[in-house]
Structure 1
Amino acid sequence: MNPSRPSATHVAVQNGRIVAVGSFDEIVATSGAKVDDRFKDKVLLPGFVEGHSHIMEGMMWSLPYVGAFDRRSPEGKLVQGLPDIDAIVARLQEAEAAMTDPEAPLFAWGFDPLHIGGVSLTRQDLDRVSTTRSIMVVHASFHISNVNTIVLQRAELDRTTNISGVVMGKDGEPSGEVQGIAARFRVFRVLGTNPLSGNLTADDVNRYAASSCIQGVTTITDLHNDLADLTIEVYRAASRRDDFSVRLVPAMASVSHSPEQGVEKIKTLKASNNDKLHYGIVKLVVDGSIQGFTARLRWPGYHNGAPNGLWYIAPEELPSIVAAYHNAGIQLHIHTNGDEATEVALDAVEAAQIAKPRPDHRHTLQHCQMADAAQFKRMKSLGMCVNLFSNHVYYWGESHYELTMGPERANRLDATGTALRVGVPFAIHSDAPVTPLSPLFTAWCAVNRVSSSGRVLGKETEALTVEQALAAITINAAYTLKLDHIVGSIEAGKYADFAVLDEDPFEVAPEKLKDIAIWGTVVGGHVREAPRA
């Protein structure tokens, strides 16, 4: 990813940074440097940059996983996916039986009805696990949860409830599914904790770093965090350890602070940045998820006729929030899944730019799955970036084709080809733990554009080459984080951060890109072999 030296056989490292890149004669023979040949049969790429993931990838693995697809844990263990409701209930029953505190709630994660034939997980299903213990299962999208009857009763959610996001069953009573912010916050209050933003521990951060190492990631985001004092202290302590094997970029959740408070907090946090901890960005969440039918879509709306989704930030409030951070010189990362949400976000950034032009702001739309060519052209004219959720093509491509978007719009899902043609700087991401943290898999999705059922979506117009996809998980992702001056490519002056691979991705068939084994990582010259179960 270094245009002046696309490939090389040797890299010289001193004090955690790259001194030179070239051949043996150029570097070693002329300098007398010590030769470290432990990677002579490996391939070094720039350390992968995951521009949209969450610390929940570390936190969730302390809870039972109930998703449909196999996942690899931070210890390197393969955890089997579950094919149906009975298998999910059985795993929850096993977890509940192992709990010693009868008052403690049981949380699990990873469920998505679209992955098991559209079958819902109801309160009656969770009542089979326990009628006395509170139970919450968080969806793979993290925008929806399912709870058992006792949780609904304690939260006083019944057929008379008028809070948005409480889904009713065929019997006219709450089904156990709660969506969006208002309904779930009410549930979190009666549970006494929020598993999505609970008390962060050093173990959570270590699991996150271990998962990163397994996948060759050396720079990773936590792209939506309240940044409570405890979290800030845990991150500070972790980042100052020599053996901490990742560079961490947290984003402050805008919902947790007023814009005025947020601006001041970011200024304070940036003063504590170090080589492995980079504060400075703010995350706005405008809508929900397409597969959860909580994203906001423009006309003609959802392909199957479902009602439009939820606004997480009211459209009339968004411009003032964007303007406050824009005027303070802070970079925004804005979650928009549906194209209506994207349009509202573009309007807000445009208004902010007209009122106070800012060169190189790099405000970045995150996910942005349904954007069309006209919206990409607006991004270009506004100086914006986009980070596209390529993994969606595999995990939900079939559902989008059949249910949510229909064939035409599904073929432009996560339009990396359009971004490339228009000239919008773009990255691709996993949104881990929504989908597995694995940049090579994400690159494979962008190159091959095939769904889990084998349907190919928009490959002729939206697919990337292998080189373009690798750029999107290295130097391009670093650009969207304003870190491309220190990470993202192997060139003199940058941190010595490498992904260590067993094979050259330019020499394997494109359809095998996801299968390349990763030995581990190098971060600032410190070598870490990936854990293997």
Structure 2
Amino acid sequence: MKSRTVIFCAKKIITMNRSRPFATHVAVRDGRILAAGTLEEVSGWGDATVDNTFADKILMPGFVEGHAHLLEGSMWEHVYVGYFDRCDPDGKVWPGLKSIDDVVARLAEAARELEDPAQPLLAWGFDPIFFGDGPRMGAHDLDRVSAQRPVVILHMSNHLLNVNRATLARVGIDRHTAIDGVPKDENGDPSGELQEFAAMFPVFQLLSETVGFSFGENKNAAWNFANIARRVGITTSTDLANPLTETGVANLRAATDDPAFPIRLIPAFAPLLFKGQEGPAHLKAVCEHNTDKLRFGLVKLVLDGSIQGFTARLRWPHYYRNPGNTGTSGNGLWLLPPSEVASQIASYHREGFQVHMHTNGDEASEVAIEAVSQVLTTHPRQGHRHTLQHAQLVDIAMLRRMRELGMCANFFSNHIYYWGDAHYAKTLGPERAQRMNAAASALHCGVPFGMHSDAPVTPLGPLFTAWCAVNRRTSSGRVLGEEERITVADALHAITLGTAWTLKMDQDIGSIECGKFADFAVLEDDPLAVSPEHLKDVRVWGTVIGGQVMPAHKA
């Protein structure tokens, strides 16, 4: 039976194809693009049905989210206690909380609704950096919520936790616990703040056993995440840290095998529980499950923590205003020791995998770049595209070296809006804060890059991410690093073909041209016609994935 050809008509098609940047029609067959151009130009492929659904709309390549987590699809099962207003998947706006007392009050209200007095209460989105220079939240604050049930708050960055004394007792953390990342109070007892994975791991184990918390491995999380992504124009997204357990992989297959699943998913393997060659062997086996909608093959290594959590690794002169909770070194925490970075990269590089490295601080980025250089000296390989994720403080010298080595960057542009003021005044100081997420410098140096939200750290929304890179405005309205602004056209490239390149998916997605998947973002407004200040306000009608129309809001 001959496949059906559909020609979608649009007011304007922004193709991201350099040889044909704009079109009015796109022909689709078997889920892929036959041609884009005028109606006459795309009609030569035989009988076709012309679909005018988008005749008054703008089509773009489906947006590509290069750093997000399926946690975005499950965190709303728990209590939001963030500083900024945030909209849940049902459209309800949860007001941001402006004091620790406000956080305690919301948690106390949620605790009263739990019948089991021993059930842990999990909340998320908190960040103490927004609460001035007073005392940080301690275990005694959360004891006001409950002295019996465990109370756990996952920070907005996902790099720290706050817990009450009941939680500390339940997981066996006390004054004798010798883990870097467990600050002590003036009496020598744990303060209730736990920093980074080693310190947080016992709490995650408790939550997994009691409330079913996981890092987005369950099928419902994938569906919830995908539906949020669809509403903001995303057709391909990473899950950029997944343990890829047998159950987790099976759940991802079950979700993505459903024809109605609205995005393509690219999980990145987080090899925390594997040693030596066990990790590459496991990933190689998992790649047998690859499909058009589910693609394995990325590896995620985490070198340092978060700048706003004071756990990122910074070069001298380190932190601008050190709050005294930055690990034993006074300069953040190494989550992967520098001495092990090259060997970790090499084990996956040799097997042909692509490595993505979380590096927030410039010291961490420098270590990662040097490690890639060492690996390439011993094991030369063209087209590896190893990528620095966040790369928030890379400078010109590092960018030039990245270009020489064939590396990519994926910038956390949303960071400028949410934490720019804090970085200017508290963590980095004015000069370094000005060059954060240096997209213009990356363009100048020829380093391929994408941009991301790191959801649930910040909300999914590629057009907002593009707006951040174009305008570089903080939440207070300060322009942070005017010289690092990029054009709207360059920002749109970054959230489509640019990010696709960093994922080694540019042969299939990122532009509207012959042979690629028929994945489109459908917009009500032309992002190239609105003022740069209003780029974030461009309305998303929905998406098309593999030629299947996916309205943002189903009737």
Q: What TM-score do you get using the length of structure 2 for normalisation? A: 0.93
Measured after TM superposition, the shift of residue 170 of structure 1 is 4.3
Q: Which amino acid aligns with 1:220?
A: S
How many Å separate the matches in 1 of 2:219 and 2:110?
23
The residue aligned with 1:188 is 204
Q: Which amino acid aligns with 2:378?
A: A
The residue aligned with 1:416 is 439
Q: Which amino acid aligns with 1:13?
A: V
Q: Does residue 1:527 correspond to 2:527, yes or no?
A: no
Q: How many pairs does the alignment contain?
A: 532
Which of 74, 78, 92 in structure 1 is aligned with 2:89?
74
The residue aligned with 2:37 is 22
Show CA shifts across 1:121-150 (max 9, x none): 221221121111111100000000000111
Measured after TM superposition, the shift of residue 74 of structure 1 is 2.6
The residue aligned with 1:177 is 193
Q: Which amino acid aligns with 2:493?
A: A
SS in 2 for 1:362: coil
The residue aligned with 2:278 is 261
Which of 344, 360, 370 in structure 2 is aligned with 1:321?
344
- Root-mean-square deviation over aligned CA pairs: 1.8
Which of 302, 310, 314 in structure 2 is aligned with 1:297?
314
SS in 1 for 2:416: helix
Given that 1:336 and 1:367 are in contact with CA atoms closer than 8 Å, whether structure 2 keeps it comes out as yes
Which of 462, 475, 487 in structure 1 is aligned with 2:497?
475
Given that 1:19 and 1:492 are in contact with CA atoms closer than 8 Å, whether structure 2 keeps it comes out as yes
SS in 1 for 2:192: strand
| Larger deviation, residues 279-288 vs 321-330 | 321-330
| Larger deviation, residues 405-414 vs 152-161 | 152-161
Q: Which amino acid aligns with 1:288?
A: G
Measured after TM superposition, the shift of residue 199 of structure 1 is 7.3
Measured after TM superposition, the shift of residue 171 of structure 1 is 4.7
Alignment of 1:142-221 (within 5 A): 142-191=158-207, 193=209, 197=214, 200-221=217-238
Q: Does residue 1:347 correspond to 2:347, yes or no?
A: no
The residue aligned with 1:308 is 331
Show CA shifts across 1:510-533 (max 9, x none): 010001111111111111111389
Change (3 A) 1:200 1:329: closer
How many Å separate the matches in 2 of 1:471 and 1:51?
13
Given that 1:259 and 1:325 are in contact with CA atoms closer than 8 Å, whether structure 2 keeps it comes out as no
The residue aligned with 2:381 is 358
Show CA shifts across 1:161-205 (max 9, x none): 332111223454322110012211133345554976357332211
Which of 54, 75, 78 in structure 2 is aligned with 1:39?
54
The residue aligned with 1:457 is 480
The residue aligned with 1:369 is 392
The residue aligned with 2:125 is 110
| Larger deviation, residues 234-243 vs 25-34 | 25-34
The residue aligned with 1:434 is 457
Measured after TM superposition, the shift of residue 225 of structure 1 is 0.8
The residue aligned with 2:414 is 391
The residue aligned with 1:516 is 538
How many Å separate the matches in 2 of 1:121 and 1:501?
43
Which of 269, 272, 292 in structure 1 is aligned with 2:289?
272
The residue aligned with 1:84 is 99
Q: Which amino acid aligns with 1:311?
A: W
Change (3 A) 1:126 1:259: same
The residue aligned with 1:485 is 507
How many Å separate the matches in 1 of 2:365 and 2:157?
18
The residue aligned with 1:505 is 527
Given that 2:208 and 2:214 are in contact with CA atoms closer than 8 Å, whether structure 1 keeps it comes out as no
Identity %: 53
Given that 1:134 and 1:191 are in contact with CA atoms closer than 8 Å, whether structure 2 keeps it comes out as no
Q: Which amino acid aligns with 1:46?
A: P
Q: Does residue 1:330 correspond to 2:347, yes or no?
A: no
Given that 1:210 and 1:531 are in contact with CA atoms closer than 8 Å, whether structure 2 keeps it comes out as no
Measured after TM superposition, the shift of residue 229 of structure 1 is 1.0
How many Å separate the matches in 2 of 1:45 and 1:334?
29
The residue aligned with 2:3 is none
Which of 113, 116, 132 in structure 2 is aligned with 1:98?
113
Which of 229, 240, 248 in structure 2 is aligned with 1:231?
248
Given that 2:74 and 2:216 are in contact with CA atoms closer than 8 Å, whether structure 1 keeps it comes out as no
How many Å separate the matches in 2 of 1:196 and 1:429?
24
The residue aligned with 2:64 is 49
Which of 10, 20, 27 in structure 2 is aligned with 1:12?
27
Q: Give the gaps of 5 or more residues in structure 1.
A: none
How many Å separate the matches in 2 of 1:185 and 1:46?
39
Q: Give the gaps of 5 or more residues in structure 2.
A: 1-15, 324-329
SS in 2 for 1:99: coil
Q: Which amino acid aligns with 2:437?
A: D
The residue aligned with 1:128 is 144
Change (3 A) 1:455 1:199: closer
How many Å separate the matches in 2 of 1:41 and 1:196?
44
How many Å separate the matches in 2 of 1:435 and 1:199?
16
How many Å separate the matches in 1 of 2:522 and 2:160?
37
SS in 1 for 2:277: helix
